[in-house]
Structure 1
Amino acid sequence: MEAGIGHNRGPAMESTGWRAHCWRRARAELLPVLPVEVVRTRVRRAKSLGLDYKTYAGVRATTGRDLIAFLFSSNALGVFRDGQPLAEARADKLTVLAADRHIGAGPGLDADALGQRISAASAWNLPPFGSRWAEMRAEAKAWLKAHGLPGDAVLMIGETDHERELMAAGGLAGFITGTQYFTGERHAV
């Protein structure tokens, strides 16, 4: 078949093999080739944050920033009533975290008291379940502004879908379950 005007006589684009080749090449050109020392530095940083490298690299690639703070929910810490002790392994992991830690307490909990127990930079009573998106967004943005934090540099460690929605409403860097952060276990999705 004769090619029409404007045809560059290249391979037919209908070919799935050609499209796959183009996609692989474009993807490879997008990904930066990092020097080994940069990768080593990022692996050390991930470890100092208590994250596996894949999670850290994913958050960093998504936001384009390093993480400077963590927002832990009381659910992620496994604290459901005032005065309840924090599991020793969780307390130990918090002491070596190389970023500011903040606490978001669930309803009925004394956020300030829990914040003092984990040496948090701030304590916040999270919006209650059933809050509208706009309300959650406004509260999260006000909390970030009050503490001079860029949302995309704060990782939320939580447990519930409500907390995941709060992370999205506030424009935070991402969300990891407390189970994954503290034990390394991942839930099947």
Structure 2
Amino acid sequence: MAGLRETPPPPPGAGHNNGPSMEAGRAWRVHCWTRARAARAEAKLPLPIVRMRIARAQELGLPYKTYASVRAVSGRDVAALLFTSNALRLFREGALPEDRRAALEAVRHCLLAGLIHPPLAVTAPEPLAQAARAPGLFHGWTETRDMIAAAHPRLPGPAVLLIGETALEETWAAAGRLAGYLEGAGYFGPETR
């Protein structure tokens, strides 16, 4: 009977949920998987690195939890903060509110840029280093991506965090392939709304 082959078992019937295999060795595979997840590099950061990242979050004016999640998703440090004119409460020419100005002046070692909505002139109010025109409703995905890239030239998208106020502005983070999106209240705090 050495030449006979075993026939494979029939496929699961109706109502079968294709649950986990109950064959021998399953407990060992679960154990190995659990140990591998616990040993990941992100799970055990050395204390000096955690301290450096807390200091970096403070330099950027971000809560550590927000900074850590943005860094984990993008795989990079935040090199630029890109603010929309809505998040800055910039509703008329040259009138950046004092609370917003003070928060931006406290940021260290980071490019500050703006996306300015029409009809405002495309100028970078102090302390922003540069500004570009914000995309509108009528711009396509490619045009939106190019307009956002113009606001942070020479920087890769995953190193830029967008801070805005509206659902439309939130889609710009995906269009520009940015590190993420944060609402203005999450950056400036709810008391500045």
TM-score, reference length from structure 2: 0.77
Deviation at 1:62, TM superposition (A): 1.0
Deviation at 1:23, TM superposition (A): 6.1
Q: Which residue, 118, 122, 127 being the options, matches 1:119?
A: 127
- Counterparts of 1:3-18 in structure 2 under 5 Å? 9-11=24-26
Verify the 8 A CA contact 2:133 2:147 in the aligned structure 1.
no
The Cα shift of 1:24 comes to: 4.6
1:94 aligns with 2:104: yes
The partner residue of 1:171 within 173, 177, 181 is 177
Instruction: Give the secondary-structure state (helix, strand or coil) at the position aligned to 2:174.
Output: helix
Match of 2:86, SS state, is helix
Identity score, percent: 44
Change (3 A) 1:176 1:42: same
**1:161 has 2:167 as partner:** yes
Aligned-partner SS, 1:110: coil
Distance 1:23 1:177 in 2: 37
Counterparts in 2 of 1:3-152, with a 5 A limit?
9-11=24-26, 24-32=34-42, 33-83=44-94, 85-98=95-108, 99-112=110-123, 115=124, 117-144=125-152, 147-152=153-158
User: What residue ranges of structure 2 are gaps of 5+ in the alignment?
Assistant: 1-7, 9-21
Q: Which has a greater percent of helix?
A: 1
Taking only aligned residues, the RMSD between alpha carbons, in angstroms, comes to 2.6
Query: Could you tell me how far apart the structure 2 residues matched to 1:184 and 1:24 are?
Result: 40
Rounded Cα–Cα distance in structure 2 between residues aligned with 1:142 and 1:94: 21
Amino acid at match of 2:82: L
Q: Distance in 1 between matches of 2:38 and 2:65?
A: 18
Deviation at 1:90, TM superposition (A): 1.2
Q: In structure 1, what is the Cα distance between the partners aligned to 2:41 and 2:188?
A: 30
Tell me the distance in 2 between the aligned counterparts of 1:143 and 1:125. Answer: 8
